[in-house]
């Protein structure tokens, strides 16, 4: 996108017929995508890149974002993908592209992004790279990637298992980072210019999926298929990961919905034979969701619809229609606040508060005073999003480093207070948007199962604890007791 000379694009309206867009420094071209419609994400990316290269042999490879069949069929949790395995994963952005009849967007060109002060940027990059060499967190991500969290979360007793009935999984070692590195050929893989290289390019060594190659699986996919659906094989999780990637579906929502369907089947709410660990039945159901066949059509509409349809609202685990990531809020109470208040539902990313709670920086059981600490994390990480900076640099980029990044790239000199005030206003405006669209403070609460059903350790997050967290959060954000931001 940068090489084409853009920071962002806005697409209004929709096309009557399927198209793909080619965006360059010379403008935007609309091409028919009739021949691409129905292709999976990998095939689409290859084909679009090839079409661009045929017409522009002297230009470097185009960057391409695509949707798969799930996005075409407007599945509520379909994704936009690039580089085969990288996904804009949550909340169904693939369905937005699908509703506009856009199958792919290719960017190419030779522009470079200008920065306000090259010296500051270069020196900063050197300094951070030097610091990164000795950083324990950087080393852990490079050596193990996000799958390292399987062991950590299981030991903490908050690894969501058997559709949120348990916080530990007896077969966790079969789906851990060690299992992945022993049973597959794994190479660290990095985004452009990143020295952390948390990605795992993994190829299955043996068995029915020998030769299967994906970038992953990430922790969240391992938790959703391994923990929630009790798939006790890293290779089989990779197989399901690959299916989701090809179809263009979010693995967190997919694993949650499948585990929910397993419960519906066990309770004889639906005429479907599926159970924990049934990999092939799960694989088939994923296809049925993407192509909206049978029960798959109900699941394609998302957790709220499926729960209503099967009279299982009291069992469905979601906030604002989004299923949580792999951190049980009965153990990590700050994650309960994150799931409750994150603007897009039970999302782990806006504040990534599992990090301070797991690393001992903050007591996971602390309630009083936690919202103020949480709000500062959320503000800092909101700026990460605004700057488009990877969250895994959260230990390396504190406020001071963010100030340097902003000064080097834009020329603005900002204090911590200035930055927090910008971040707050982003959060407040997003909140106003949500309120305008009909959400209320009632939607900031957690599913009652987290209050009523204890984990093996006996842990719950009580209603009173959640209410206290929310009360303090509203105060820290300067929202009234109904969760409405006061005028700034
Ligand atoms: S930029 Fe982030 S996601 Fe990409 S490889 Fe580096 S640490 Fe991983």
What pLDDT digit, counting tens, does each position of 235-265 carry?
Answer: 999 999 999 999 999 999 999 999 999 999 9
Q: H-helix or E-strand containing 401?
A: helix 399-410
| pLDDT the model gives residue 394 | 94
Best residue among 85, 148, 192, 199 to mutate for probing ligand 1, ranked by most atoms within 8 Å of CB: 199
Residue 108, CB half-sphere, CA atoms under 13 Å: how many? 20
| pLDDT the model gives residue 389 | 94
What is d(CA 325, CA 332) in angstroms, rounded to the nearest whole number?
Answer: 12
3-state secondary structure of 104: strand
Place of tokens 């420094």: 25
CA dihedral of 301, 305, 311, 315, whole degrees rounded to 10: 90
| pLDDT the model gives residue 57 | 84
Beta strand 102-107 with 19-24 is parallel
| pLDDT the model gives residue 58 | 80
Query: Helices in 110-250 by DSSP H: which ranges?
Result: 118-133, 136-144, 149-156, 177-183, 219-221, 234-247
| pLDDT the model gives residue 181 | 97
Checking phi first, is residue 27 left (phi over 0); if not, alpha (psi -120 to 50) or beta?
Answer: left
Ligand 1 first shell, C-beta below 6 A? 141, 190-191, 194, 196-199, 390, 392
What is d(CA 18, CA 41) in angstroms, rounded to the nearest whole number?
Answer: 15
Q: Where are the beta strands (DSSP E) in 420-467?
A: none
Q: Report whether 37 contacts 19 (CB < 8 A).
A: no
Whole-number Å distance, alpha carbon 141 to ligand 1 midpoint, is 9
Q: Report whether 476 contacts 377 (CB < 8 A).
A: no
Best residue among 390, 394, 397 to mutate for probing ligand 1, ranked by most atoms within 8 Å of CB: 390
What is d(CA 310, CA 265) in angstroms, rounded to the nearest whole number?
Answer: 10
Whole-number Å distance, alpha carbon 327 to ligand 1 midpoint, is 20
- Each of the 488 residues of the chain gets a pLDDT tens digit; together they read 999 999 999 999 999 999 999 999 999 999 999 999 999 999 999 999 999 999 988 877 899 999 999 999 999 999 999 999 999 999 999 999 999 999 999 999 999 989 999 999 999 999 999 999 999 999 999 999 999 999 999 999 999 999 999 999 999 999 999 999 999 999 999 998 999 999 999 999 999 999 999 999 999 999 999 999 999 999 999 999 999 999 999 999 999 999 999 999 999 999 999 999 999 999 999 999 999 999 999 999 999 999 999 999 999 999 999 999 999 999 999 999 999 999 999 999 989 999 999 999 999 999 999 999 999 999 999 999 999 999 999 999 999 999 999 999 999 999 999 999 999 999 999 999 999 999 999 999 999 999 999 999 999 999 999 999 999 999 999 999 999 999 87
| pLDDT the model gives residue 278 | 98
C-alpha distances in Å from residue 22, one per residue of 9, 10, 93, 396: 12, 14, 19, 36
Q: Is the dihedral of CA 97, 100, 102, 103 positive or negative?
A: positive
Residue 392 CA: nearest ligand 1 atom is 7
430 is written with which tokens?
Answer: 């997003």
Best residue among 86, 132, 194, 388 to mutate for probing ligand 1, ranked by most atoms within 8 Å of CB: 194
Q: How many CB atoms lie within 10 A of CB 280?
A: 10
Residue 197 CA: nearest ligand 1 atom is 5
Tens digit of pLDDT for each residue in 70-88? 999 999 999 999 999 999 9
What is d(CA 229, CA 186) in angstroms, rounded to the nearest whole number?
Answer: 24
Rounded to the nearest 5°, which phi and psi values hold at 110? -130, 15
Residue 393 CA: nearest ligand 1 atom is 7
Residue 391 CA: nearest ligand 1 atom is 2
Residue 198 CA: nearest ligand 1 atom is 8
246 is written with which tokens?
Answer: 């090809």
C-alpha distance across the termini of the chain, in Å: 34
Residue nearest to atom 4 of ligand 1 (CA): 191
Question: Cis (ω within 30 of 0) for the bond into 217?
Answer: yes
3-state secondary structure of 215: strand
| pLDDT the model gives residue 488 | 77
């Amino acid at each position: 996108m940068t090489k084409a000379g853009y920071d962002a694009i806005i697409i209004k309206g929709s096309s009557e017929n399927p198209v793909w867009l080619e965006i360059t420094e010379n403008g935007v071209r609309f091409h028919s995508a009739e021949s691409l419609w129905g292709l999976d994400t990998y095939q689409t990316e290859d084909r679009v890149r090839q079409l661009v290269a045929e017409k522009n042999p002297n230009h470097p490879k185009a960057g391409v974002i695509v949707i798969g069949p799930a996005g075409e069929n407007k599945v509520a949790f379909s994704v936009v993908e690039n580089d085969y395995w990288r996904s804009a994963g949550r909340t169904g952005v693939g369905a937005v592209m699908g509703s506009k009849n856009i199958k792919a967007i290719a960017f190419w060109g030779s522009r470079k992004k200008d920065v306000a002060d090259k010296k500051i940027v270069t020196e900063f990059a050197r300094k951070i790279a030097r610091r990164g060499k000795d950083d324990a967190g950087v080393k852990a991500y490079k050596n193990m990637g996000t799958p390292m969290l399987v062991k950590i979360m299981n030991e903490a007793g908050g690894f969501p298992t058997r559709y949120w009935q348990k916080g530990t999984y007896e077969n966790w070692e079969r789906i851990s980072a060690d299992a992945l590195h022993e049973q597959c050929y794994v190479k660290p893989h990095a985004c452009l210019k990143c020295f952390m290289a948390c990605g795992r390019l993994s190829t299955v060594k043996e068995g029915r999926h020998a030769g299967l190659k994906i970038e992953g699986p990430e922790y969240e996919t391992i938790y959703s298929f391994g923990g929630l659906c009790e798939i006790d094989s890293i290779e089989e999780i990779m197989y399901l990961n690959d299916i989701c990637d090809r179809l263009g579906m979010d693995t967190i929502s997919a694993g949650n919905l499948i585990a929910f369907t397993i419960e519906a089947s066990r309770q004889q709410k639906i005429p479907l034979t599926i159970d924990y660990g049934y990999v092939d039945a799960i694989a088939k159901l994923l296809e049925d969701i993407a192509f909206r066949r049978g029960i798959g059509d109900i699941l394609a509409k998302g957790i709220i619809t499926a729960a209503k349809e099967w009279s299982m609202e009291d069992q469905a685990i979601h906030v604002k229609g989004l299923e949580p990531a792999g951190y049980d809020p009965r153990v990590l109470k700050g994650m309960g606040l994150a799931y409750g208040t994150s603007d897009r539902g039970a999302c782990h990313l806006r504040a990534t508060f599992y990090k301070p709670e797991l690393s001992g920086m903050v007591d996971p059981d602390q309630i009083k005073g936690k919202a103020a600490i949480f709000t500062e994390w959320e503000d800092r990480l909101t700026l990460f999003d605004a700057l488009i900076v990877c969250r895994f640099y959260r230990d390396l980029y504190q406020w001071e480093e963010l100030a340097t990044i902003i000064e080097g790239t834009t020329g603005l000199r900002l204090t911590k207070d200035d930055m927090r005030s910008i971040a707050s206003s982003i959060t407040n405006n997003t909140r106003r948007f949500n309120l305008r669209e009909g959400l209320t403070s009632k939607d900031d609460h957690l599913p009652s199962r987290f209050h009523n059903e204890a984990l093996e350790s006996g842990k719950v997050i009580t209603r009173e604890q959640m209410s206290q967290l929310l009360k303090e959060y509203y105060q820290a954000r300067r929202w009234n007791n109904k969760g409405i931001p006061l005028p700034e």
